Structure formats: C-alpha cells, structure tokens
Structure 1
Amino acid sequence: MATPEATRNYFKRLAHKEIPVHSIRDFGKTGWQVSSIGFGGYRIRHDSAEHARALRYALLNGFNLIDTSSNYGDGGSEMLIGNLLHEMFERDEVHRDEIVLVSKVGYIQGQNLRLVQDAEARGQPFPEVVEYADGCWHCIHPEFLEDQLSRSLERLNLPSLDVYLLHNPEYFLADAQKRGELDLAAARERYFMRIGEAFRWMEEKVAEGKIKAYGISSNTFPAAADDFEFTSLEEALRAAETIAEDHHFQVIQFPFNLFEPAACTRKNQANGGKTLLELARERNLATLANRPLNAMVNGGMVRLASFARSDPQDIRQEFDKYLAILSDLESRFTADLLPGLPDDLSKDALMQVFSLSQQLSNALEMFPSWEHWDHVRQNYLMPQSYATLSYLDQKLAENPAWASWSRAYAEALLVFLENITRKYENDAQKRSVQIERQLDSLDASLRDSETLSQKALQVLTSVP
C-alpha cells in the first residue's frame, strides 16, 4: 500500500524532473502526497501497448495517482495497470508504496453481467441488484463487493488497494424514480441504508488490510439538493460516522470541468450554506475530479481537447478508396469463405459483422459530432469487428485462405475507421479553437498552454 513517507520520497526522488510544487497535493487525511493530475484508466485496454507506454511515462515523470474501475475495459483497464506495475516493480523503476491506486465497484456490465445472470440462474442471486437498463445493472451489496474486490485484486496482481470507491451508487435513485414505487424521502432513506451497509463492509476490509481508505464516486454529488438523484455528502458522512468515529470514508469523486463547475459554485450542502468542495475541505476529504476533459453539455458530451486538422479532399479520396477495398473484401468473404465455415457458426451474424462497407457508406455525413462517432467506433465497431476476427483466427487457425483475408480486412478496416475519425476531428477542432480563444481572453497566462486539454487542466488545478 501507499505510505505517507514513500509518496513524499517519490517526488524527492524525481527532483531532477523539476516538478512544480503546485503540482503536488496532500491527499486529504490519508497523509499521502499525490500528483495534482492522475492517470485515468477509463479507456485503457489490456492489450494496448500505447496505453502501457503512456502509463509508464506518467509514473516515471511525476504522476503517482492512478484511477481505474472494475468495469473499465470490462476489467481490461485493471489488468493492464496490474501487468505494467508488476513489470515496473520488478525493474525497481517505481515502488508499490509510492503509488496511490484507486479502483471502483458497482457496475454490472460485460463479464460481470454474465456472472450475475449465471448466479441468478443457479438460484443464488446477488442481493439488491438494480436492473437499471439492458446491459447495465448495478449493485453495492456486501456480497457483490466481496466478489468484486477479489477479482479486481487478481487483475491488478496486488494484495491490496489504496482506495476503493462505490461507483455511481445513485443508480438506485435513478431506478427508484423511473419505477415510481418510492417517494423522495423513502428512496433516500433506503439509498443511505445501502451505502451504510457497504461502508460497514469496507471498514472490515480496512481492518483486514485489503484497502486503506474508501469513498464514493458519484456524478450527483454536485447536483441540486432537490434533484431526485442527488447524493448528499453530509448524509454519506453520517452513514460512516454511525459505523465508527475514526472511519475511513476519506475520498470522494465527482464531475468537474470547464462546463460543469457546480462542485465549487452550487451551495447544495449544509442547508444551502456550502458547496461540495467547501464541505469536503472542511472535513479534510480527498477530492478527485472525473471527466475533467469530457464535459456533459445540454445532454451531449464535449471533448475538451485539440484535434489534428486534415485536408477534406484527402479525407474524401481516402474514404472512397478504402470503402471500395472493404466492399471487395466483404464480397469475397460472403462468396468464398462463408459457405465453407463450420456449421456451429452463425452465418447470418457474421454477415452482419462483415457488412461495414454498407453500414458506413455515408459515414462522413451520418454522425452529428466527433463525440458520437468516437463512441460508436470505440464501443461498438472496433470491439465487435476485432473480437470476431480474433475468435475466428483461433477457430480457423488451419485455414490459410481465412488467415490471409483476416489480415487484409483488419488492416483495411483500421485505416478506414481512422480516416473517418479525421473528418470528425476537423469538425471538433473548430469548436476547440473557439473555446481556446475564449479562455485566452479571460486569462493571459493560459496562452502559454499549447492545447485545449492543457488549458482546461490548468484551470482545474488552480482551484484550491
């Protein structure tokens, strides 16, 4: 686990990096010192060499705070982090007690959803599961937390975590409002009863040495106090205090970015007398900002980043070229490969997967924004296509015709998708330039930061 002394020594050891003093923060009452900017694991994939290089660079250059979750990359985020940390510990590049590692629990998606559904089918369901939507359930009952902590530690290849957070427990409130079975007072009473049970379990894990501190990551900490899904920090503190006077509820996480400043502007605590950050500072809680570069605006997302610009004519020419290549490859698959595939494979499903030249024939015009396109590409197109290719590569390992086609298709698809991305990056960059100009006009010091991401983070880290 992280220790106060080791986290301080980490920054002393990297003194030659000339890390600014304001880039090092005390982490609440834990005694740890951490970098003001952490490494976020949301999009991290277990098989990405690029992501591993980025994390290694961060750890070697003054970023000793890592934030991940059991559902990021369907567990792949924790897996990559664990694998890389193990390698770096073995090489003596960093030490375990210098690093503050945060993970989260609660989401039931992907392999966790299958796990919970299998348990239900066996007649041994996890208690208090919130079936919020197809493909997205939630649970913070101690039985589920026990299962999930062991899985997270196994993926991380570690015996313990520094911080363990309940991940968006407000799904219970959202579900209660949707169902209309509880009024606001009853829903909140039951909500904090569940949180209290989870806290009691977490105190047991602290005593066992499995975690050092715990807390809540909630998108509704900064919400208006009368919002049905509002998570009150005061009530969460009361829940912890009923369990132990010297409790270990020491960390909170919430959205905070240029477009969502409510954590420091909305007085939703102490009967409207304090903001979330004011109360957290008063109680010496460590605070983590999530989505610092992904702002939710008018129901959509705005990525606070600068994007490369490309020649629109080049984009169109490349699009037409690779659309034709994909179309030819998919026609060859249907005519030459599909008839000879084993009968246990769903040929209709495979034809759907390998029909992207039809599905994306109008891709340069069909998406409203870069954010929408990126969501579809990252969460649907690439996982579905490359997971299917990988599965068939193993199943058809002795088929040279398939191997040749698979390599060609994977390469062409990657270029095709990247080219579509270039078009939407052009659109997004126009908006980013406008935001940059507004920021520069408000604070001349921001002009020294080259990208919108740097400017956005500079503003956030200036908040005490």
Structure 2
Amino acid sequence: MTTRSSGAGRRVLAGGLEVNPLGVGCWAIGGPDHNLGLPMGWTTADDDRARAALERAFELGANLFDTADVYGHGHSERLVGSLLRQVPREEVVVSSKVGYLRDEDHPYEPRQMRRHLESTLDNLGVDYLDAYFFHNADFGEKDRYLAGAVEQMRDFQRQGLVRAVGMRGPHRFATERLQVAKAERDDKHARFHRLFEAIRPQLLAVRFNALTPVPAGARVFAFARRHGVSVLVNKPLAQGLLTGKHTAVRPPRYGDGDHRNRKRWFTRDALTVIEAGLAPLRERFGGDRAALVRVALRYCLQQDDNAAVLVGFTCEEHVEQNLTCLGEPLTEDELAFVRAVGARLQHELDSSGEVFLDEVGTERDGAGQ
C-alpha cells in the first residue's frame, strides 16, 4: 500500500475523534439485502472492486470509515475489516451501528446489543469501535428498551469497547413510513429531543445535502453546536441524484434486494424534475460529473467545522473522484447560489406529487430551535 496523503486539514470531533472531514460511507458495498420485509441493500457493488476502493481511500488520506451491522447483514463490516487488517488500527476511525438488524429479540435488548457488538467487532477484526450509533429511534413499545439500551452503551464505553456514542437526527423508522398513517405518526422532532436527553450522544448522524430544506438544515447544525456534539453528514450526493448520474432517458433498474427499487426519486418523473433543476449548477460550475460532485461535497463540508461528511462508493473510480475533486472552497456567493438552486429543486420535487422528500434522503432533519 502506497504512502498516505498528508493529514492536514483534519477535524477533531466530539469524543476526541481526529478525522479527515471527508469520510467514507460503506452502506453500498454491503450488497443486496432484505431486512424488516423490505429491500435494504445495493445491487451495484462488487467485492473485489470494493476492497480496492477502500485501500485507495486510505491511500488518499481518508481515515473515517462508517458501516453498520445491517449493511448486507455484516458483509460491509467484513469488507472494511479486510482493510483494517492491512493498516495501523490507530490511523483509522471506525464507526458502526446497531438497531436495524432484526431477529427474534429486539436489537436494543441489552443482551442482544452485546451480541451484535461482539459480531461487529469480529466482522471488523478490531477490539473496539471509535463510534457506535443507535441506528434508529425504535426502542420498543413505550420505549421499554430505552433505559437498558442506554446503560448498556455506557457499559460498552466503560469497558473500552466503544469510544463515542452516536444517534440519528430526527427521522422515521423505515416501517413506520409504510405502515403508519401520516396523521397517526408521532412528531419525529419532539421524539428526537426526548431521546437525545436520554442518550446524551457525542455524535449525530444526519441526512443533509443541497436538497435539504434550508431552515431545517441550519437548525440541526446549530443544535449540535449548542449541545457540544459533532455531526456526521450522510447522503451528501443524494445517492447520486445531485451529480447527474441518473437520467430520465434511461431510468436506473436495480436487482432484487436494492432499496432504490422502492424509492420514488429514481423514477422517470422524478429524474425529469431533477435533471432540469440541476441545469443552473451545470451552467455555473461545469457540466461534468466531477464538477457537480465537488459542489455537492463542498456545500456539505462548509456547513460547519464540527462535522464530517460521509460519501458512499462502490468502486475505486468513485473514491478517486470524491477525494480528489474538492479543489478550493466555495465562496459565500457560490454557497448562496447552490442553496437557492437546491431550494428551488426541493420545492419542485415537493410540489410535483410524485416525490416525497421524506424519502429522498433529504428528510426535514432540523433538530428544533
């Protein structure tokens, strides 16, 4: 493995985690999968290409790798583990999650949490995690598992198995979106606040990109600063939708076990709206994919110095582009331009009747006032 790039420009997040602010999201390499009766994986990854991409990311200076037990039922963790066997453990920050992988017992039952953590550590080939996240807000009926789960997580920290604890920003459990009528759903922001007070995390995982409604996006970063927690931003490219990767001429088709098959923004109607909405960005910053990737990533990276951005990949080409296209920061005028273009596109999607933004990886994730 070649010599790494300089660590200049790294950020120190809550929990003392020193990271390259552009991290590597490892959901896609988990492969096709089903969980909770839903397709929840990706069918566009190849293991050999994923391993090569992980190695290249490390060579280029990435040191934050984020995965979860549910990504391919441990397959993503095992692929990340193949990298960790080749590099010094102290040079990487490894994050994983618990809560979405379901079997007979609830995943937040303390004994189940320990079993899942042991499996994750075994998959990764490490003896501790730098960050461990509660992956969702479902703590059972009337939050019956919440207190025990929080105490179990603290016990992991006391034992040195976990350095920092994280949780999701305001969101809905996957099955709630499908099975619970909108009028009957709990207020996800109020619920987030209740859980935050109980968990007291050091890190928040938040969906954010140029399509995120502006007030909500600003609030979540302000909330994090106010409470001394750091943010891990995911879906900065809106799963490729902000880069022009998908077109209405040839709508993407995915195999069995790919979560995108159930999401409306990958349909022809939604892609038509998105293509037209990206035109101003192409005109100002350039029409090739690298230019749009740069703008999308810079927009997220420059939101807050107390945050890191996780960008997904399936191959070495993605990693090369993501980690080498950043160039100079966007100016304030350019940031405002991207914000305005994203807001217009978000409004068009929201009013089209075909796309619901709670499903676009841009859910209204503001953490309240």
Q: Following TM superposition, by how much is the alpha carbon of 1:283 offset from its aligned partner in structure 2, in angstroms? A: 1.8
Counterpart residue number, 2:280: 438
TM-score, with structure 1 as normaliser: 0.51
Structural mapping, 1:227-246, within 5 Å: 228-231=186-189, 232-240=191-199
TM-score, with structure 2 as normaliser: 0.63
Q: Following TM superposition, by how much is the alpha carbon of 1:36 offset from its aligned partner in structure 2, in angstroms? A: 1.8
Is 1:150 matched with 2:134? no
Paired residue type of 1:196 = A
- What CA deviation, in whole Å up to 9, does each residue of 1:210-254 have, x standing for no partner? 111112124529xxxx9615155543342146xxxxxxx211102
Is 1:454 matched with 2:294? yes
Unaligned 5+ segments in structure 2 are: 32-45, 173-183, 260-265, 305-369
More helix by share: 1
Counterpart residue number, 1:48: 47
Q: Choose the corresponding residue for 2:154, options 195, 199, 203.
A: 203
Paired residue type of 1:286 = S
Structure 1 distance, partners of 2:294, 2:272, is: 17
Q: Following TM superposition, by how much is the alpha carbon of 1:143 offset from its aligned partner in structure 2, in angstroms? A: 1.6
Equivalent pair of 2:69/2:101 in contact (CA under 8 Å): no
Structural mapping, 1:6-25, within 5 Å: 14-15=5-6, 21=9, 24-25=10-11
Equivalent pair of 2:94/2:129 in contact (CA under 8 Å): yes
SS in 1 for 2:290: coil
Counterpart residue number, 2:89: 96
Name the % identity: 25
Counterpart residue number, 1:391: none
Structure 1 distance, partners of 2:118, 2:267, is: 40
Structure 1 distance, partners of 2:246, 2:196, is: 45
- What CA deviation, in whole Å up to 9, does each residue of 1:130-180 have, x standing for no partner? xxxxxxxxx3121211110011111111111111101112475xxx6xxxx
Q: Following TM superposition, by how much is the alpha carbon of 1:82 offset from its aligned partner in structure 2, in angstroms? A: 0.5
Q: Following TM superposition, by how much is the alpha carbon of 1:276 offset from its aligned partner in structure 2, in angstroms? A: 2.2
Aligned CA distance change for structure 1 residues 106 and 308 (closer, same or farther; 3 Å): closer
Equivalent pair of 1:168/1:218 in contact (CA under 8 Å): no
Equivalent pair of 1:306/1:429 in contact (CA under 8 Å): no
Greater RCO (Cα-Cα under 8 Å, separation 6 or more): 2
Q: Choose the corresponding residue for 2:16, options 15, 31, 44.
A: 31
Unaligned 5+ segments in structure 1 are: 1-11, 90-94, 117-125, 130-138, 177-189, 242-248, 268-273, 296-301, 313-363, 381-423
Structure 2 distance, partners of 1:32, 1:448, is: 34
Q: Following TM superposition, by how much is the alpha carbon of 1:97 offset from its aligned partner in structure 2, in angstroms? A: 1.2
Equivalent pair of 1:280/1:286 in contact (CA under 8 Å): yes
Equivalent pair of 1:307/1:429 in contact (CA under 8 Å): no
Name the larger-Rg structure.
1
- What CA deviation, in whole Å up to 9, does each residue of 1:108-136 have, x standing for no partner? 35xxx3xx3xxxxxxxxx3xx3xxxxxxx
Q: Following TM superposition, by how much is the alpha carbon of 1:63 offset from its aligned partner in structure 2, in angstroms? A: 1.1
- What CA deviation, in whole Å up to 9, does each residue of 1:354-406 have, x standing for no partner? xxxxxxxxxx8xxxx42xx23x45539xxxxxxxxxxxxxxxxxxxxxxxxxx
Aligned CA distance change for structure 1 residues 167 and 446 (closer, same or farther; 3 Å): farther
Q: Following TM superposition, by how much is the alpha carbon of 1:20 offset from its aligned partner in structure 2, in angstroms? A: 6.9
Q: Say what the alpha-carbon RMSD is for the aligned residues.
A: 3.7
Q: Following TM superposition, by how much is the alpha carbon of 1:445 offset from its aligned partner in structure 2, in angstroms? A: 5.7
| Aligned length, in residue pairs | 272
